[in-house]
Amino acid sequence: MLPKIFTSIKDWQAFLKKENLTHSLGFVPTMGNLHAGHQSLLERSVQENDHTLLSIFINPTQFDNHSDLENYPRTLEEDIDIARKTNVDFILIPTFSDLYPDNYTYKVQETHLSHIMEGKSRPNHFDGMLTIVLKLLLIAKPIRAYFGEKDFQQLQLVQGLAKAFFLDTEIIACPTIRDENGFALSSRNSRLSSEQYRQALLFPKLLSGQTQDSLKTIPEILSGCGFQIDYIEEHCGRRFGAVKLGNVRLIDNFCIQNSIQSSNSIPNPL
The footprint of ligand PAF on residues 142-201 (CB under 6 A) is: 151, 154
> Minimum distance from CB of 225 to ligand PAF (Å)?
28
Residues in contact with ligand PAF, shown as a per-residue x/- string from 134 to 153 under the rule CB under 6 A: -----------------x--
> Minimum distance from CB of 229 to ligand PAF (Å)?
23
Stretch that binds ligand PAF, among 94-102, 106-114, 126-134, 245-253 (CB under 6 A): 126-134
* Distance of alpha carbon 82 from alpha carbon 90, whole angstroms: 12
Report if residue 83 touches ligand PAF, rule: CB under 6 A: no
Residue in 12, 25, 27, 29 binding ligand PAF, rule: CB under 6 A? 29
> Minimum distance from CB of 63 to ligand PAF (Å)?
10
> Minimum distance from CB of 59 to ligand PAF (Å)?
4
Nearer to ligand PAF, 89 or 151 (CB): 151
Structural contact between residues 26 and 145, judged by C-beta atoms closer than 8 angstroms = yes
- Angle at CA 70, nearest 5°, toward 74 and 41? 40
Handedness of CA 144, 146, 147, 148 (dihedral sign): positive
Collapsing DSSP states into helix, strand and coil, what is residue 183?
A: coil
The footprint of ligand PAF on residues 30-69 (CB under 6 A) is: 30-31, 59, 62
Collapsing DSSP states into helix, strand and coil, what is residue 52?
A: strand
Q: Which of 69, 95, 81 is nearest to 34 (CA)?
A: 81
Give me the sheet containing 248-255, strands edge to edge. 228-235, 238-245, 248-255
> Minimum distance from CB of 107 to ligand PAF (Å)?
13
Q: Which of 38, 51, 125, 235 is catalytic?
A: 38
Size of the site for ligand PAF (CB under 6 A): 10
Give me the sheet containing 51-56, strands edge to edge. 4-6, 90-92, 51-56, 25-30, 144-148, 170-174
Is 38 in the active site?
Answer: yes
Q: Which of 31, 27, 70, 56 is nearest to 186 (CA)?
A: 31
Report if residue 117 touches ligand PAF, rule: CB under 6 A: no
Residue in 16, 99, 132, 207 binding ligand PAF, rule: CB under 6 A? 132
70: enclosing H helix or E strand: helix 66-71
Enumerate binding residues for ligand PAF (CB under 6 A).
29-31, 59, 62, 129, 132-133, 151, 154
Please list the active-site residues.
Answer: 38
